[in-house]
A and B are shown apart, each in its own frame.
Chain A
Amino acid sequence: MFSSFALSDIPEADEALRARARDLAAQAVANMPMDRRARSWMGFDAEFSRRLGHAGLIGLTLPEDYGGGGRGPFARFVIVEELLSAGAPVAAHWIAERQSAPLLLKFGTEAQRRKYIPGICRGELFFCIGMSEPNAGSDLASVRSRAEPIGKGWRLNGQKIWTTNATYSDYMIALVRTSGTPDDRHNGLSQLIVDLRLPGVVIRPIRDLAGDEHFAEVFFDNVELDSSALIGEEGKGWQQVVAELAFERSGPERIYSSLLLLDGWRQHVRKSGRTDEATARTLGSLVARFASLRAMSLACTAQLAAGESPVVEASMVKDLGTAFEQDIPRIVGDDLACHPEEAVDPDLCRTLAYIEMICPSFSLRGGTREILRGIIARGMGLR
């Protein structure tokens, strides 16, 4: 079972990118407290994204012809793990690079590719994902936002929700109904590029439980789009979205969200001079789990590099990876609470509190745990 899923080394040429990514990340986080760094792919810093883009570290998997790096998925793997483990604020370009540009490359017209991809690679054009709606979460095919054909374009009405970075983004790629009714399910959906500055677009930030405003509600009131807004084929948006979600889910980013907390805790344990067996076991177990997840993630990357779409395998990494990310605050909190005699850096306490609050979202965003397990079960032939 899953026998084509095998560990692979990172090619040396890609490994060589590590130092540059590390330097830029280190500069960006130099004066940031740990709990800010812990926000990482929810931390927005347009200037940092621009610097990364200009250093050639965005869009490494995209063709050079469109301003990309012309490299493979391992190059992106190296950059991503460096940025995330440093807690660099990568949110601005994150979605555009990870899924919008690959989506446009695969399904877009030549004009669309030329218009958007180079700007994404420079770290200057930001995108958000307009999939979820109030009544369409896991059941994404039930989206109700609707674009009617008018003349040579579209008139869009409806609402999106939980749209990460909508407030700061230039464009949204929205999944909407362009023909048929919600009963037609997977048929009649299309993906449209929505310029978020157009009249009729209203964006309302949503404050999260930690006080941050990374996602938003987006309303469309008779927004007029020209024909160039359509990506791919009218009515075939579902197949495209499935491909887009494969880009979203197969990257290495699903195992690093709490790594800063683990690093902070290790530093604390060292400073406290702990040498006891319980601490050693806690540490050893977390590090071994991290190593096994990294191996799985590398195996996924190898499948991507071979031109496969590791949907099932990526779901395995994400499910197990987010469980690891969620275990870290539980275990670190439990450990620190065992040692009331130790002084804990307030920065570490704040990071712990933040991660503990936000970590349920790790297994929601990008597809919930139950949905991912359903995908794996299908891969096993159970459904």
Chain B
Amino acid sequence: MIIDITAQGGFGGITAAAMKKTIDVDQQPRQMQQELCDAFEPRELQRLTRTPCPDCADRLTYRITVTEGQENPQVFTLREDQLPPEMLDLIDQM
């Protein structure tokens, strides 16, 4: 599974200031693999996109692309506040 993450927005509104990350889950240590698979499971991401965002001033928006094997990539757009803190910590570690 390949995970691509890009972010935009934020207080600065500067796209270049936000991060771009690509991670090949299969190349990670076993424990990290499990954490990533659980967190970026497409059904879970789909559920998170439905979380309401009452006040999103200056928040980042993430575009997460998950590619599993030969399947078509699945793309999710999620605002920062729609992601649980543990998942944001995971993104920061990646």
Partners in one complex: no
List A residues at the B interface (Cβ < 8 Å): none
List B residues at the A interface (Cβ < 8 Å): none
